[in-house]
Structure 1
Amino acid sequence: MLTRRALFAGFAIAALFPVGVFAQGLPDLKGRPVTVVTENAYPPLQFVDPKSGQAIGWEYDAMNEIARRLNFKLEYQNVSWDAMIQAVSDGQYDIGMTGITIKDERKEKVDFSEPYMRSEQFMLVRSDETRFSEEKGFAAVGDALIGAQPGTSPFYTAVYNILDGNEQNSRIKLFETFGATVQALKTGDVDLVLTDSVAAKGYVDASNGGLKVIGGPLGAEDFGFIFKRGSDLAAPVNAAITALKADGTFDALNRKWFLDYKMGQ
């Protein structure tokens, strides 16, 4: 495993090279201003560091590097998940990022980048949970509740892969943010939260033994950045994603955020 010091040293060396060397073959957006919106509620992809109060995470590092290589000027904004896709569709923001699963129905409103990450959903529960250990066991415990944000992949997985296919099922409690679902899990207001392995690891690491992951993966999903339909930013960002995958930058970010970084330290 690379140490945090080794990774930072590698990034520091990389930063010494002029942008043109790294961006060879990539479009030059000539300092164009680009507004990126996120929720800051999905560690370690994007979240507010409890120590510094700064917004950090895998997606921030990736987007900062994409901006550097394409030569555009970043401005970050914050909005709730339930407003994000429509806001980007309406052109209020140029790019949206918050671990957004690429889905055909969402493509009717926004354009997606190429996938930058593949993840699988897992069951996040309190560490003292013994009533169930997988999805069928949860479904059999009639008074057990699951917390989810409406319109998200975890919501639909809860409805169609765990429960009875009824989107109005009273066993699903709805929350405005993903962080609120995890807080409800911690306080006992719900008994299960579905999330991908990325966020699950971050919350387990931060829980001081209070949370755990049970069962196996409930399906793979690809994450992408979103743009207004027809945005001329999609093609340059896709080119940068391809370059970042090819030269190992995304692998380095994976090591930094999923192996070296521990939430709460």
Structure 2
Amino acid sequence: MAFINDKGHIDGFEPNLIEEIVKEAGYEMDLVDVEWGGLFGGLATKKFDLLISSITILEERKKRMAFSVPYIRSGVAMLVHKDFKDINSLTELEKLKVVVGAQINTTAYFYLEKFPGLQRKGYEKTGHALLDLVNGGLSAVVGDTAQINYFYNAQPDLKSTSYIAGDRLTSENYGIVFRKEDKVLREEIDKALIKLIKNGRVRALADKWNLGKFVDIPDPTTR
């Protein structure tokens, strides 16, 4: 839910959201664009103080890092090339033994493991997979629902060559990530985030970025 805009700046729902959260919490920040593979290592080695990048709150991850309250509920969605008509599930594509792309080391990428009949192809960024889909190198792409929906509506080439198949395939809560020892920072960011959820600002940003029917704003009192 972030991208580099035509001015070379990081933009999108999550950059806008974290800017407002940090301001509300009374901090200043430098926003850095990092490949997915460098996120968690960079946090552990203190290159960054927190992460926001459509990171699913998982029990396994909680053993190594701390999470904010969820700021959005999303999941996995699928874009299918228009050469394949009336596809609504990965099970249908699995029977065709086609190639499906996803960003490596994400929940979407690991979700494809449930369908061994598919040929899984990994990419550093979802946008790279979508470009391959447009160019005919893939039959489908799975990724974060909000991200898939945004790119689909923002890129005419993508909309003319593919379609969003079926409904959200999974349901996942996304959170901001911290080092476990940074309890004060997490508490202050949580307080600011909860305020922005309750006053409707998070929903307004989701609407601004056309995240669509695939996302919900969770109750901030539950984790």
TM-score by length of 1: 0.73
Q: Is the counterpart of residue 229 in structure 1 residue 175 in structure 2?
A: no
1:200 corresponds to: 148
Structure 1 residues 206 and 128, CA gap change in structure 2 (3 angstroms): farther
Q: 1:188 aligns with which of 136, 142, 147?
A: 136
Give distance in 1, aligned partners of 2:23 and 2:14: 14
Deviation at 1:214, TM superposition (A): 0.6
* Aligned residue type for 2:67: F
What does residue range 1-265 of structure 1 map to in structure 2 within 5 Å?
45-50=1-6, 52-130=7-85, 132-142=87-97, 144-160=98-114, 163-164=115-116, 171-208=119-156, 209-231=160-182, 232-258=184-210
- State whether residues 147 and 193 of structure 1, in contact with CA within 8 Å, keep that contact through their aligned partners in structure 2: yes
The one-letter amino acid of 2:51's match is G
Cα displacement (A) at 1:194: 0.9
Q: 1:247 to 1:132 in 2, by over 3 A?
A: closer
Consecutive unaligned residues in structure 1, runs of 5 or more = 1-44, 261-265
Query: Which amino acid is the alignment partner of residue 251 of structure 1?
Result: R
> Aligned partners of 1:110 and 1:48: how far apart in 2?
27
Identity of aligned residues (%): 25
Between the aligned partners of 2:122 and 2:191, the Cα distance in structure 1 is 37
How many positions carry a matched residue from both structures?
Answer: 208
Measured in 2, the distance between the counterparts of 1:59 and 1:117 equals: 10
Q: Deviations over 1:162-209 (max 9, x none)?
A: x13xxxx87111212222111221222221111232112112113312
Alpha-carbon distance in 2 for matches of 1:259, 1:185: 21
Aligned-CA RMSD value: 1.9
Contact persistence 2:70–2:175 (CA under 8 A) = yes
Structure 1 partner of 2:220: none
Q: Deviations over 1:7-35 (max 9, x none)?
A: xxxxxxxxxxxxxxxxxxxxxxxxxxxxx
**Structure 1 counterpart of 2:221:** none
Which has the higher mean CA deviation after the structures are superposed, 104-113 or 90-99?
104-113
Which structure shows the higher strand fraction?
A: 1
Checking the alignment, whether the CA contact within 8 Å between 1:120 and 1:219 is kept in structure 2 is yes
State the structure with more CA Rg. Answer: 1
In the alignment, the residues of structure 2 paired with residue 256 and residue 133 of structure 1 have an alpha-carbon distance, to the nearest angstrom, of 28
Structure 1 residue matching 2:59: 3-state secondary structure: coil
Compute the TM-score of the two structures, normalised by the length of structure 2: 0.86
For 1:248 and 1:122, the matched residues in 2 are separated by 25
| CA 121–91 in structure 1, closer or farther in 2 if over 3 Å, else same | same
Q: Select the structure with the greater relative contact order (CA < 8 A; seq sep ≥ 6).
A: 2
SS of corresponding position for 1:230: coil
Structure 2: runs of 5+ lacking an equivalent: 213-223
